[in-house]
């Protein structure tokens, strides 16, 4: 029997364990059997994350906290695009398992749930893009649904392992997917401890544990979340469509800068297997440049670009 489909009989400690164990939470009975009801208790951390940004009113900000915020934005945005998206969802390059796990842990620290959950939903998006079965199409006035509401239901909280025949046997990814809260929680604690140590050892940095938590975790994670989400929402509504695809995907240059290349979303839907998403030389694609550099150091092996992605010239955008 699929362990994820077996109903779990709640015990005394079940609510406590269910806070950290996704498999257990998915197996708890659904009230009224409604798979599309919003699971409010599971959204508490998401609201707390956003409210945490207001902590900046009390902690203030210095150059060091701002730099940590930016660095963690860059590191986790790269991990989301390069590992969650281009590796796990599309397998557009090869990499050793330890490196994939390290990247998946870094991406999971952005609190966008676990690696298998992310990749399964994304593969489903490509299979049904903007059609029946796409979990997060913004068409038909569903902007907010596609941006933020789609993942709030029991149905979409689940990880559909049937989408991942090539990944579902990797024990380390299964573990991280099950206990995905471990990654953001460990980052949060590390930031607090670092800030408190620096407050004593390097007072000239004028930082503190709470200031690093607010800027390095709350503000930075909220930014990564909304910018990533804009690929699902804005990039299927606004921008150029140089390629005729079956969906409504668009190219948005400014979003490509913020997402390290993901804003060339019409290119991507046209050729999902291409590790390079900026097809033309001027289409800024930072994730590809970094992966290309990593290949020079022997860390990854990029799959050859499919012929349709090798053209340096989509019809004029
Ligand atoms: Zn899309
Ligand atoms: Zn994709």
How much distance in Å is there from the Cα of 77 to the middle of ligand 2? 15
How much distance in Å is there from the Cα of 229 to the middle of ligand 1? 10
Confidence class for position 9, pLDDT limits 50, 70, 90: low
Least confident of 139-148, 169-178, 290-299: 139-148
- Cα–Cα distance measured from residue 171 to residue 166, given in angstroms and rounded to the nearest whole number: 12
How much distance in Å is there from the Cα of 269 to the middle of ligand 2? 7
Can you tell me which residue has the tokens 């364990």?
A: 17
How much distance in Å is there from the Cα of 187 to the middle of ligand 1? 29
How much distance in Å is there from the Cα of 60 to the middle of ligand 1? 37
Q: What is the pLDDT of residue 30?
A: 73
Q: Ion ligand 1 — residues with CB under 5 Å?
A: 249
The dihedral through the CA atoms of 107, 111, 115, 121 has a sign that is negative
Q: Which ligand is nearest to the CA of 247?
A: 1
How much distance in Å is there from the Cα of 306 to the middle of ligand 2? 15
Tokens of 259: 């997402």
How much distance in Å is there from the Cα of 194 to the middle of ligand 2? 36
How much distance in Å is there from the Cα of 261 to the middle of ligand 2? 12
How much distance in Å is there from the Cα of 129 to the middle of ligand 1? 6
134 backbone dihedrals φ, ψ, rounded to 5°: -80, 120
**136 or 49, higher pLDDT:** 49
pLDDT in tens, 268-290: 999 999 999 999 999 999 999 99
Q: Is 90 exceeded by the pLDDT of residue 297?
A: yes
How much distance in Å is there from the Cα of 34 to the middle of ligand 1? 27
Confidence class for position 312, pLDDT limits 50, 70, 90: low
- Cα–Cα distance measured from residue 61 to residue 215, given in angstroms and rounded to the nearest whole number: 8
Q: Is 60 exceeded by the pLDDT of residue 5?
A: no
pLDDT in tens, 234-271: 999 999 999 999 999 999 999 999 999 999 999 999 99
How much distance in Å is there from the Cα of 257 to the middle of ligand 1? 17
Q: Is 70 exceeded by the pLDDT of residue 229?
A: yes
Beta-bridged to residue 153, according to DSSP, are 38
The dihedral through the CA atoms of 162, 166, 167, 170 has a sign that is positive
State mean pLDDT over 59-76: 97
pLDDT in tens, 146-173: 999 898 888 898 899 999 999 999 999 9
How much distance in Å is there from the Cα of 254 to the middle of ligand 2? 18
How much distance in Å is there from the Cα of 20 to the middle of ligand 2? 28
How much distance in Å is there from the Cα of 48 to the middle of ligand 2? 29
How much distance in Å is there from the Cα of 86 to the middle of ligand 2? 7
């Amino acid at each position: 029997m699929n362990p994820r489909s077996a109903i779990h009989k709640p015990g005394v400690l079940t609510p406590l364990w269910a806070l950290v164990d996704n498999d257990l939470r998915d197996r708890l009975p659904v009230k009224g059997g409604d798979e599309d009801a919003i699971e409010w208790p599971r959204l508490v951390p998401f609201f707390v994350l956003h409210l945490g940004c207001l902590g900046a009113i009390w902690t203030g900000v210095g150059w060091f906290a701002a730099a940590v915020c930016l660095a963690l934005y860059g590191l986790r945005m790269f991990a989301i695009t390069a590992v969650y998206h281009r590796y796990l969802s599309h397998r557009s390059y090869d990499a050793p398992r330890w490196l994939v796990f390290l990247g998946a842990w870094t991406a999971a620290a952005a609190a966008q749930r676990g690696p298998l959950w992310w990749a399964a939903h994304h593969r489903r998006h490509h299979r049904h893009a903007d059609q029946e079965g796409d979990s997060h199409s913004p068409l038909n006035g569903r902007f907010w649904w596609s941006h933020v509401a789609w993942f709030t239901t029991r149905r979409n909280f689940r990880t559909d392992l049937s989408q991942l025949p090539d990944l579902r046997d990797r024990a380390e990814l299964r573990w991280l997917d099950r206990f995905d809260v471990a990654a953001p929680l460990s980052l949060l604690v590390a930031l607090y401890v670092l800030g408190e140590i620096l407050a004593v050892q390097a007072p000239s940095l004028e930082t503190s544990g709470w200031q690093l938590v607010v800027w390095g975790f709350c503000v930075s994670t909220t930014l990564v979340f909304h910018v990533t989400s804009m690929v699902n929402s804005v990039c299927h509504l606004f921008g150029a469509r140089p390629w005729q695809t079956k969906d409504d995907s668009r190219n948005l240059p400014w979003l490509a800068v913020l997402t390290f290349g993901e804003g060339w979303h019409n290119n991507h839907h046209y050729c999902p297997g291409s590790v390079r998403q900026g097809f033309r030389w001027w289409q800024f694609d930072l994730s590809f440049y970094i992966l290309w550099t990593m290949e020079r150091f022997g860390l990854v092996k990029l799959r050859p670009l499919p012929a349709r992605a090798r053209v340096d010239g989509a019809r004029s955008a």
